[in-house]
Amino acid sequence: MTTIELPARRPRLHNPSLFREIVETVILIGLVYTLVNLATVRFYIEGPSMQPNFWAEQFLIVSRVHYLFGNPQRGDIIVFDPPGDDDSANNPLLIKRVIGEPFDVIEIREGQVYVNGVPLNEPYIKEPCTTSSCNDSRWELGADEYFMMGDNRNNSRDSRTFGPIVRERIIGEAIVRYWPLTDLGLVTRYRFPD
């Protein structure tokens, strides 16, 4: 006598209710929104210090994650909390370009910026430095210090005013310009030759 085996019954898939689908979607959106907000900051440009590359009333997305796995590099455009009256509402975050890295020697001679004795080629600046903030000066950076300068050298409050900043004051790197929509795009870092 032969026995015929019947195929095993497939388990029945559970069809979730519409309410459950909506709740799961809302939770997923909330998690994604939270992760994006932990990893990035929105930044509003208020003044002319980064012209001609950034203009007042532009909005940027700043990545907090970039510097978890590496350090700022010369040419990066970063947002940071400048030293000084930290308890004041009149001490906003600033956006500047990294000019000096730890242990660099930064000099300004006759309006020209030098890094470790080599003149810095800066095609991104608005105009050569001519104001009193460009007087001949020299800074020797420590192990955890960075030197920041605005691209509009004649109209920028930067490390020439408040000195080098320490690493812990850096918020993150500007990565996307998203408003106005006509300016939408990635923020590119100027790569200095080695």
Residues marked active site are found at 49, 96
Q: Is the dihedral of CA 102, 83, 81, 193 positive or negative?
A: negative
Cα–Cα distance, 149 to 168 (Å, whole number): 18
SS3 150: coil
CA 15 vs CA 12, 18, 185: distances in Å: 9, 9, 42
**139 token code pair:** 């800074």
CA 32 vs CA 66, 100, 124, 171: distances in Å: 18, 36, 36, 21
| Residue 160, C-beta contacts closer than 8 angstroms, at least 6 positions apart | 108, 133, 134, 137, 149
CA 45 vs CA 49, 56, 114: distances in Å: 9, 5, 27
DSSP 24: H
